[in-house]
Amino acid sequence: MAAVAANPPAATEDPEPQREAVPGLESQRRQIKNGESGQERPLRAGESWFLVEQHWYIQWEVYVQGGDQDSSTFPGCINNAKLFEDQVNWCLKKGLVEGEDYVLLPAAAWHCLVSWYGLEHGQPPIERKVVELRGIQKVEVYPVELLLVQHSDMGTPHTAQFSQTDSIDLVLRTAREQFLVSPQEETRLWVKNAQGSFERLCNTRVTVLDAALKSGQLVVMETRSKDGTWPSAQPHAVNRASKEDEDFQGQPGICGLTNLGNTCFMNSALQCLSNVPQLTEYFLKNRYLEELNFCNPLGMKGEIAEAYADLVKQAWSGHHRSIVPQVFKTKVGHFASQFLGYQQHDSQELLSFLLDGLHEDLNRVKKKEYVELCDAAGRPDQEVAQEAWQNHKRRNDSVIVDTFHGLFKSTLVCPDCGNVSVTFDPFCYLSVPLPVSHKRVMEVFFVSMDPRRKPEQHRLVVPKKGKISDLCVALAKHTGVSPERMMVADVFSHRFYKIYQLEESLSSILDRDDIFIYEVSGRSAICENSREDVVLPIYLRERTPARDYNNSYYGLMLFGHPLLVSVPRDRLSWDSLYHILLYRLSRYVTRPSSDDEDDGDEKADMEDKDSIPKPGHMAGGSSQDPGPEQAGPSSGVAGGSRAPVDNSPGPSHWPQRARRKHLFTLQTVNSNGTSDRSNFNEDTHAQPYIAIDWEPEMKKRYYNEVEAEGYVKHDCVGYVLKKAPVRLQECIELFTTMETLEKENPWYCPSCKQHQLATKKLDLWKLPETLIIHLKRFSYTKFSREKLDTLVEFPIRDLDFSEFVIKPQNESAPELYKYDLIAVSNHYGGLRDGHYTTFACNKDSGQWHYFDDSSVSPVTENQIESKAAYVLFYQRQDVARRLQPQPGLSDPPVPPACSSPPNSEFMDVN
């Protein structure tokens, strides 16, 4: 026995009847000293040896060496009284030394001495085990004495002795027996360390020595509460709420999860997993305790499995309306840093991490062997698949593998040599693509050359992988304006962020961009060398007092929408440009009356000589700098690439003196809308930009801001591109369709000895008990990210996979390929902001419920299918029947979606 009771029963021997069969003294000496059962035999781990008081043993040696059985040296009964502290508890004295205070005898020799001489009345035998510590065999004279207490009664310790080779599980069983804990109750142990804090004894399979337990340490046994919580995990602030929850009795499993701050993704994944019947039963019935793997280097030391088990037990206790998954969230963040903090994440990504973590924490394979992956090499599929599955199970064997893992066949064909590679790989879930539309809806504003027409908002359907020219062609159908007379620009913060070329890809335009398409003169779109018109980008600026103490200079702030204006080359002068712009702005700029004219016309003849330079000519005459100038606060955004529309000298050669007119002045600027000359020196042939500068009073008097911002909606804006719903079976077909590998992910052909863009095809070979289907709604490209809100029609029951499984099928058991829906993880919203919820079917009641964080409400089956469905959980019908209790005599009505009518004739697909 490894555990030694504090008060062992007294063992008494009656010496008189035994002494009649006492052998001769020499025979006694040889039997006790020598031989296989004698004192000199080697120690063997696990054997029992006994302590005998040294003085009695010496007396016995003298007696047997004298050779006279009637001698006065007869030792009498074995008396170990000198070895005990007292004769009540019979505790061994501390500091006893072998050879001085006692001798050690093997069990056979001890029993012989007791049969010959007897044991002092009332004394217990002092039995000790031989243990192996660090390769050395020794008799453990002093076992480890532990003080066992209950968490609910820390003041009443019970002393128990354990060998250093005893397991912690024996300590736990001893505590349960001592405190009369029923077999149904779950318990765990804590130990008080030298610093006074408590540590969990998680791994009950290690020894007392490995756990570093010392004599006198306090070991606390904690019993799980009825509501599934551990008393030590409950803060004092929620004790009252916990008592109220204990009084509450609801349907097990109908329990919400509190949102800790953007943790709806975690709550959704947990609710789905919690409603997988066989996995939940595995935790509720404590089968996981026997399979916790604390030494797996790929695992989380059992902590993820224990944290998830705590959540399941609380949710299915029936004593909670909702629970706070704070401990679980902390554990996940500890082992997966991407989930630290309170950012929004993907429920499928957390689900993938959780399934992998649970698998490694519960892996029955304690030491993974090396397994070499083998190609088919022409062998039959059945043989290769069986070998692949056996190899997988040699390294991975857990409840997660039993429940969620399947097998698919991967076929790769080299395009050069035709080499075919066939492998069988396990999967935990299917990530199926959605049929993607090749069309895209884009909203643009069309700005006509006719100043009387307001900008028009258009909704255009264009090819998703099209070019800017396709956008112009689509707009031409609505406006009647030729695509050659259009220029496309991205407007941001009152300036041109980018002016696009016709051959650029539409993928560079994001849905949130403000795209303006300007009508320009057809003569300006032929080629640069033969254009008769120049297209000038025009900005609007207002002169405002600078934030300076003495207001000694002014700043310029951009406002309104910029323009692209066609200007004939023969009218490239400031005066002509002024009148052209005045005409283009005439819808929202009022012309001054004759009474408002000043003496500007008197200077007209002189100022007209300051013309905008024509192509190939330098501007003549002297110019004066208009004085200090600074950009407005919104001018810091750098412009995109610009489309040069003229080969005339750059703005650095332009006359810098802008003529003062009645309403506004004109100024050459860079693409940011500022007059920073340092930018011009980089490229003297850069696109000329013109700014219309307004004085505040003139702008207030002649510029109608309301009219300037006005626009009309074309009839096409009311059109909605209808997305036809797709069937789940179509997504699975797309998953199994042959595809060519991308350049970023080539395959190394062992025959060609080089990487190839091979063709790849996936086929389903073996399906799991619970099939997780991930709908790939999120699309990421170099330029864009989008969510596909296509409605996927999925069956609630009888999803048939027989047409997708290529393994030879058992026709007598069709339920092996039919699945019923048990849970759905939903995602509402877009990429940057969204919300996750869950539909799940309760395994006990068969009723569907909607889980929205801490809120839970019943729903009907016709509410489950929606565009928000993201991850689907299906259970195989034969598994559902196996888990169902036996029905009564009468057949039940139509079964709920999460279960099927029981049938004793089922066959597992494995």
**Residue 875 contacts residue 898 (beta carbons within 8 Å):** yes
Q: What is the largest CA-CA distance in the chain?
A: 157
Look at residue 355 and give its three-state secondary structure.
Answer: helix
Q: Beta strand pairing status for 664-669 and 198-200? A: unpaired
Look up residue 148 and give its two tokens.
């066992």
Q: Which helix (H) or strand (E) holds 63?
A: helix 54-66
Nearest CA to 488 among 458, 450, 530?
458
704 Cβ contact list (under 8 Å, min separation 6): 588, 589, 590
Q: How many CB atoms lie within 10 A of CB 20?
A: 6
Nearest CA to 794 among 824, 762, 759?
824
CA distance 784 to 45: 69
CA distance 613 to 651: 10
Burial letters for 499-509: b for 16+ Cβ neighbours within 10 Å, e otherwise? bbebebebeeb
- Which listed residue (112, 255, 264, 731) is catalytic? 264
Whole-angstrom CA distances from 468 to 438, 571, 645 are 16, 30, 17
DSSP of 692-731? EEE-HHHHHHHB-HHHHH--EE-GGGG---PPPPEEHHHH
CA distance 87 to 118: 18
Q: How many CB atoms lie within 10 A of CB 654?
A: 23
Chain position carrying tokens 């007392």: 208
User: Is the CA virtual torsion 505, 509, 511, 515 positive or negative?
Assistant: negative
Question: Phi and psi (nearest 5°) for 716?
Answer: -65, -20
Taking each helix axis as running N to C, give the angle between helix 277-284 and helix 303-315, from 0 to 180 degrees, rounded to the nearest 10. Answer: 100
Q: How many CB atoms lie within 10 A of CB 691?
A: 25
Give the angle 157-159-161 at the CA atoms, nearest 5°. Answer: 150
**Residue 312 contacts residue 305 (beta carbons within 8 Å):** no
Q: Determine the length of the chain.
A: 910
**Residue 92 contacts residue 142 (beta carbons within 8 Å):** yes
DSSP of 373-388? ----TT--HHHHHHHH
Look at residue 576 and give its three-state secondary structure.
Answer: helix
Catalytic residue flag (residue 264) = yes
CA distance 770 to 277: 10
- Which listed residue (151, 334, 561, 835) is catalytic? 835
CA distance 673 to 690: 8
CA distance 870 to 269: 11
Look at residue 470 and give its three-state secondary structure.
Answer: helix
CA atoms within 13 Å, Cβ hemisphere of 522? 4
Give the angle 578-580-586 at the CA atoms, nearest 5°. Answer: 100
CA atoms within 13 Å, Cβ hemisphere of 844? 11
CA atoms within 13 Å, Cβ hemisphere of 520? 29
Question: Phi and psi (nearest 5°) for 455?
Answer: -60, 145
Taking each helix axis as running N to C, give the angle between helix 54-66 and helix 25-33, from 0 to 180 degrees, rounded to the nearest 10. Answer: 140
Catalytically annotated residues: 264, 835
